[in-house]
Amino acid sequence: MSESNTVERRVTLASPEETHRLGVRLGELLEPGDFVGLIGDLGAGKTHLVRGVAEGARVPRSEVASPTFAIVYPYSGRIPLYHADLYRLTGYDDLYATGFMDLVGGEGAVLVEWLDRVPEAAPREHLRLTLAHAGEDSRTLEAQAFGARASTLLTAWLP
């Protein structure tokens, strides 16, 4: 899976606060067109991280939901953020029907939980984050950047 130009990082997130802080920093760095896919079991911390990202992108706290009943939540911060959860989708056709693909590479940044449900949702260039349980309050984060912009983003986020 690794390509020679793929930047990768692996960090331990020792507490929910640490995950949140890391999310805030990512939110400060995101630019329109960025695509971040999140992978990990229920409770791995995907939504927790996205809440930090939204704060870092200066989305008003009241806007941020857990996208359980909708496929995509739009947030307006410093830039538009689209927060999607593909948990309930069965495939690309489902996703295509929602109009989600029109958001990709557009004027906002896109964050997608359960990207592994519909991997085709990701553009070729994207940042892929895999979260895993490592204890009650501890998680591991594996980050893989595909493409030049995602590599720049990941290197700035996790130097």
Ligand X SMILES: Nc1ncnc2c1ncn2[C@@H]1O[C@H](COP(=O)(O)OP(=O)(O)O)[C@@H](O)[C@H]1O
Taking the complex as a whole, how short is the minimal distance between the CB of residue 36 and ligand X, in angstroms?
A: 13
Pick the stretch among 1-9, 13-21, 67-75, 88-96 that binds ligand X (CB under 6 A): 13-21
- Among candidates 140, 143, 139, which has minimal Cα distance to 158? 143
Contact pick of 19, 130, 144, 151 for ligand X (by CB under 6 A): 19
Region 25-54 residues binding ligand X, contact defined as CB under 6 A: 40, 42-48
Tell me: does residue 1 bind ligand X (CB under 6 A). no
Taking the C-alpha atoms of residue 25 and residue 72, their distance in angstroms, rounded to an integer, is 22
How many chain residues are in contact with ligand X, going by CB under 6 A? Answer: 16
Closest-by-Cβ residue to Mg ion is 47
**Residue 151 zone, left/alpha/beta (φ > 0; ψ -120 to 50; rest):** alpha
Question: Which residues, including other chains, have CB under 8 Å from residue 155's CB and lie 6 or more apart?
Answer: 7, 145
Is 126 a binder of ligand X (CB under 6 A)?
Answer: no
Q: Cα 104 from chain centroid?
A: 13
Rounded (10°) CA dihedral 43, 112, 124, 134: -10
Cα angle 46, 49, 54; round to 5: 120
Nearest distance from residue 29's CB to ligand X, in Å? Answer: 19
Q: Which is nearer to Mg ion, 35 or 114 (CB)?
A: 114
Among 19, 23, 35, 46, contact with Mg ion (rule: CB under 5 A): 46
**Beta carbon of residue 16, minimum distance to ligand X (angstroms, whole number):** 4
**Sites of contact with ligand X (CB under 6 A):** 13, 15-16, 19, 40, 42-48, 113, 137-139
